[in-house]
Structure 1
Amino acid sequence: MSTLRALAKAQAVAAGVAQPVATVRHLHLSDRPLVLVPLAMAGEANAPLAAMVGATPDAARLLVVPQPRNRDQRFAFAAELAAIVLPYLDSFRGVSEAVPVDRGRDVRHRYVDAPQLLVPNLAGVGFLRLFGRATRFRRPDGDHPVHPSVPLLGRWLTFFAERAEHPGSAALVAVSEALTLHWATGQSAVEDLHLPALLGWIDPPPGCTGAAAAARAEDPGRCPPSGPATDPDFDNRRLAPAMAAYAETEDDAEARAGAYAELERLLRDQLAPTWELMWRGVGLLRALPPGARVAGRWDGDKDAFTGHAEHVDAGGSPQPRRDGAVAAAVRLHRLERAMASYAVQRAYDDPIVMAEHRLTGEAFVGEVTLADPKRVDDSGKRPVLRPRVQVVTAEPVAVPVGATLYSPARPSQKAKVVFLTPGADGKTEVVLELSGGMGRGLTAPPGTVPEVGERLCFTTLSDAFLPAGNFPAAEETPWTHGGPPAVAPEALPATESASAEEWS
């Protein structure tokens, strides 16, 4: 936990309400997200029990699996879910836009928008990941066939689960994580995973403190769990008898319909409160203005959505069960680059996030007291524009002479530390030599050089492009590290088939 977040949590306890730890919204919110609240059966690995799905608050659709241990009913549920999710995804594939590449010498095309899935918490993301893995290798023919939409749904759910691991991505968002990114509550990080308690701190009812609202939310009878796990007391006292009653009516269609209606009522009562909380959380997030770099990260999600859609349309194979050594290294490297870039972009967009870096000495804020915007360095083969400015700051300056700094106000400009002069009054004079972001001439355009009196932040954090690493091609890699297999796939035993599984 960072110093500022710990302080914000202490202030939340004192004030009785969650404290903001961001001035802008650091993720994209679609105008038409698809909200998905899943429930799973306790004691059974990834057995779907129910789900509430919809793209608007008043368009919730409830899907129920009366007997989650029944494989046929599980995949019937998957087909029903696919009938909702796949048309939603297809609705974003109508219009494309041209994107210049290679410095404008060429263009590529991507969809103008992308779908966004919202789940209550990280456990919901995990449920979709496992459900995607359980369905993407199924076949519509052969032994134990499924509806043709089921494996396609599995591939898309796997795509969204993988994007959820990508720092800064908003394709699949856990609402509890999105809220804790912007507010600090007076409870522990584990308690923040409970969406009702979290929203009780952020938006308590009139006349109620956040702690009191969170305490009320801990009553599962009043605020059911936000899934996919269910309340054990509900399971034992209400759900189990209803499922048993449904199972006993196999030969009586009328009684079976009544038992199903009772089971549906019970599950709707469990899911409806979370459904309302999800849209309430979305409203709180929408009230925050988006950060300046949020749109650029959403462009990355649009690129990923377009690429996966084209891969599926071209008949590409499903995602593998596990990455090879090289593929895993490439993926890890990509995620590390994204994490570094995301951290910098959040700091550039939000002064509260940047304040944490100021505490660690990675940044400082000061006022420009002197400026020489016309200075030219003619010591090289040709003269170049190298203005200098003096910045006075009362904050500790932990960077050495010769370090390169950047300012969020002019991210394309570099500032080299030339002199550091500590003053007797506790202030430090920092002389910086500027390069970049001022055109190619020997005269700086207006506004490209800081003026006297301007208050700026300088940091060692850079939002510059991070080049990708070099990894060997698959055909140049030994089979032990993800290259071509030493044994042909058809020579593997039948148990190695991704879809081979005992059917019950």
Structure 2
Amino acid sequence: MSTLRALAKAQALTAGRAQPVATVRHVHLVERPLVLVPLALAGEANAPLAVLVGAAPDEGRLLVVPQPRNRDQRFAFAAELAGIVLEYLDGFRSVTEAVPVDRGRDVRHRYADAPQLLVPSPAGVTFLRLFGRSTRFRRTDGEYPVHPSVPLLGRWLTFFAERAEHPGSSALLAMTDALTLHWATGQSAVEDLHLPALLGWVDPPPGLTGAQAAARAEDPSVCPPAGPATDPDFDNQVLAPAMTAYAEAGDDEVARAGAYAELERLLRDQLAPTWELMWRGVGLLRSLPAGARVGGRWDGDKDAFTAHAEHVDAGGGPQPRRDGAVAAAQRLHRLERAAASYAVQRAYDDPLVMAEHRLTGEAFVGEVILADPKRVDDSGKRPVLRPRIQVVTTEPVAVPVGATLWSTARPAQKARVVFLTPGDGKTEVVLELSGGMGRGLTAAPGSVPEVGERLCLTTLSEAYLPVATFPAVEETPWTHGGRPAGMDPA
């Protein structure tokens, strides 16, 4: 936990309300996200019990599995859910956009927008990942066939679960993660995983403090669990008798319909409060302006959606159960690069996030007191424009002479530290600028900071991170998937 977040949590406890730790929204929100609130049967491995799903507050549709241990009912539920999810996905495949590549010499096409799934908590993401794994390899013919939409649903749920692991992706969001990214509460990180308690701090009801609203949310009779786990008392005293009544109805259609209606009522009562909280959370997130770089990260989600849709349309196979050694290393490398880029982008977008880096010495804010925008360095083979500025700051400067800094206002411009002069409570820093000023020996207007301008300078860079190279599978040792020397490929 960072120093500023710890301070914000202490302030939230004192004020009785969650405190903002972001000034902008760092996640993308589509106009019509698909909200899923799943429930699983206790004591069974990823056995779906019910889900409330829809793309608008008044469009929630309840799907129920009366006997989750019954294989036919589970895959009938999967087929019904597939009808909703796949129809939602198809709604994003009608419009494409051209994207310039190769410095504008060519274009490629991708879908103009992408779908977005929202679940209450990380446990909901895990539920979708496991449900995708249990359905994407199912056969549509032969013994125990399933509806053709079931394996397709599994492949798409696996796609979204994998995107959820990608730092900065908004394709599949857990509402608790999205809210805690922007607000700090007065409770522990574990308690923040409970959506009703979290929203009790972020948006407490009138007359209640955040602590009081969170304590009220801990009562399952007032605020049912946000799933996929259910309350044990509800399981034993309410759900079990209702499921028994359905099983005992047998072939009696009237009794069976009545028992099913009772199950629907009970499960809707459990899911409806969380459904309302999900849309309250969406409204709170929409109240924040989107960060400047959120759209660029969403473009990455659109690219991933387009690529997977094309793979499916071309008859490509489902995702493997396990990645090979090379594929796993490549995936880890992509995630590491994305995590580094995401951290820098959040800091550049948000002064509150950058403040954490200022505390660690990775950034400082100062005022320009001198500027020489016409300075030319002619010590090399040809003269080059190298303006210098002098910045004074009252913050600690932990970078050495020769270090390269970047300004959040001009991220394409490098600033090399030439001199450091510590003083009485302040430090003067002389910087030599390069890049982002045009190609001539005269700086473009506004490209060089002027006297009086306040700058935030940081060691964090948005510069392109090169992609590592990995060996082909056949070039790796047999312990990592390669073929032993001399072995017949057959």
Quick one: structure 1 residues 71 and 484, their matched pair in 2 at CA, closer, same or farther if it must change by over 3 Å? farther
C-alpha distance in structure 2 between counterparts of 1:42 and 1:187, whole Å: 27
Tell me what 2:362 maps to. 362
In the alignment, does 2:13 pair up with 1:13?
A: yes
Distance (whole Å) between structure 2 residues aligned to residue 179 and residue 465 of structure 1: 29
> Partner residue of 2:218?
218
Q: Which residue of the partner structure matches residue 89 of structure 1?
A: 89
Cα separation, 2, equivalents of 1:229 and 1:483: 42
Residue by residue, what CA displacement relative to the aligned partner does 1:458-498 show, whole Å, maximum 9, x if unpaired? Answer: 00000111111100123433443234699999x9xxxxxxx
Q: 1:479 to 1:250 in 2, by over 3 A?
A: farther
Structure 2 alignment gaps of length 5 or more: none
Deviations 1:299-344 (A, max 9, x none): 0000000000000000001000011111111000000000000000
8 Å CA contact 1:327–1:482 kept in 2: the answer is no
Match of 1:250 in 2: 250
What one-letter code is carried by the residue in structure 2 that aligns with 1:45? A
Q: Is the 2:92–2:111 contact (alpha carbons within 8 Å) kept by the matching residues of 1? A: yes
CA distance in 2, matches of 1:469, 1:237: 57
RMSD of aligned Cα (Å): 1.3
- Amino acid across the alignment from 1:278: M
Report the counterpart of residue 100 of structure 1 in structure 2. Answer: 100
In 2, the alpha carbon distance for the partners of 1:16 and 1:484 equals 62
Offset from partner CA, 1:406-441 (integer Å, 9 cap, x none)? 011000000000000001x21000000000000110
Contact 2:474–2:481 (8 Å) recurs in 1: no
| CA pair 82-237 structure 1, distance change in 2 beyond 3 A | same
Alignment: residue pair count: 489
**Residue matched to 1:449:** 448
State how 1:44-83 maps to structure 2 within 5 Å.
44-83=44-83
Taking the aligned partners of 1:149 and 1:455, their CA distance within structure 2 comes to 57
Counterpart residue type for residue 349 of structure 1:
D
Q: How does 1:424-503 map to 2 (within 5 A)?
A: 425-483=424-482
SS of equivalent residue, structure 2 residue 348: helix
SS, match of residue 43 in structure 1: coil
Q: Distance in 1 between matches of 2:463 and 2:291?
A: 18
SS in structure 2 of the partner of residue 52 of structure 1: strand
2:97 alignment partner, SS class: strand
Q: Displacement, 1:3?
A: 0.3
- Matching residue's letter, 2:470: F
Question: Which residue number in structure 2 is paired with residue 193 of structure 1?
Answer: 193
**1:213-241 superposed Cα distances (whole Å, 9 cap, x missing partner):** 00100000000000000000100000000
Counterpart residue number, 1:340: 340
Q: What letter matches 1:123 in structure 2?
A: A
CA deviation after TM superposition for structure 1 residue 205, in Å: 0.9
Residue 496 of structure 1 corresponds to none
Alpha-carbon shift at residue 27 of structure 1 (Å):
0.6
Q: Indicate whether 1:285 and 2:278 are aligned.
A: no
Distance in 2 separating the partners of 1:453 and 1:236: 69
Render the CA deviation track for 1:279-305: whole Å, top value 9, x for unaligned: 000000000000000000000000000
What residue number does 1:156 align with? 156
* In structure 1, distance between residues paired with 2:38 and 2:420: 57
Q: Deviations over 1:118-155 (max 9, x none)?
A: 00000000000000000000011011000000000000
TM-aligned CA distance change 1:50 to 1:105, over 3 Å: same
Is the CA contact (8 Å cut-off) linking 1:40 and 1:48 kept in structure 2?
yes
What is the alpha-carbon distance in structure 1 between the residues aligned to residue 484 and residue 236 of structure 2?
49
Please give the residue correspondences for 1:378-389 in structure 2 after superposition, counting only pairs within 5 Å.
Answer: 378-389=378-389
Q: Compute the displacement of 1:106 (Å).
A: 1.6
Aligned counterparts of 1:246 and 1:477: Cα–Cα separation in 2: 56
Matched residues in 2 for 1:20 and 1:481: separation? Answer: 47
Could you tell me which residue of structure 2 aligns to residue 497 of structure 1? none
Tell me the alpha carbon deviations over residues 91-141 of structure 1, each in whole angstroms, 9 at most, x when there is no partner.
Answer: 100111111111112211100000000000000000000000000000110
Distance 2:239 2:478 in 1: 50
CA displacement, residues 337-376 of structure 1 (integer Å, 9 cap, x when unaligned): 0000000000000000000000000000000000000000
Measure, in 1, the Cα distance between the counterparts of 2:159 and 2:386: 47
CA distance in 2 between counterparts of 1:376 and 1:132 reads 61
Separation in 2, partners of 1:483, 1:89: 38
Judge conservation of contact 1:417–1:433 (CA < 8 Å) in 2. yes
SS at the partner of 2:412? strand
**Counterpart amino acid of 2:246?**
Y
1:53/1:60 contact within 8 Å kept? yes
Q: 1 CA distance for matches of 2:475 and 2:338? A: 27
Question: Which residue of the partner structure matches residue 351 of structure 2?
Answer: 351
- Write the deviation string for residues 235-261 of structure 1: whole angstroms up to 9, x where unpaired: 000000000010000121100000000
Could you say what secondary structure the match of 1:248 adopts? helix
Secondary structure in 1 matching 2:160: helix
Q: TM-score, normalised by structure 1?
A: 0.96
- Find the residue that maps to 2:181 and give its secondary structure: helix
Paired position in structure 1 for 2:303: 303
Which residue in 2 is equivalent to 1:399?
399
* Percent of aligned pairs with the same amino acid: 86
1: CA distance, partners of 2:331 / 2:123: 22
Flag the 1:420–1:16 CA change in 2: closer, same or farther, 3 A.
same
* 1:276 Cα offset (Å): 0.2
For 2:476, give the aligned amino acid: T
Letter in 2 for 1:14: T
Amino acid at match of 1:112: A
Output the CA distance in 2 between the equivalents of 1:195 and 1:405: 40
- 8 Å Cα contact 1:48/1:74 also seen in 2: yes
Give secondary structure in 2 for the equivalent of 1:411.
coil
- What is the aligned partner in structure 2 of residue 23 from structure 1? 23
Residue number in structure 1 paired with 2:413? 413
Give 3-state SS (helix, strand or coil) of 1:410's partner.
Answer: coil
CA distance in 2, matches of 1:3, 1:340: 20
Describe the shift of the 1:166–1:484 C-alpha distance in structure 2 as closer, same or farther (beyond 3 A): farther
User: What SS class does the counterpart of residue 85 from structure 2 fall into?
Assistant: helix
1:274 paired with 2:261, answer: no
Q: For the residues of structure 1 that align with 2:419 and 2:31, how far apart are their CA atoms?
A: 50
- Name the counterpart of 1:35: 35
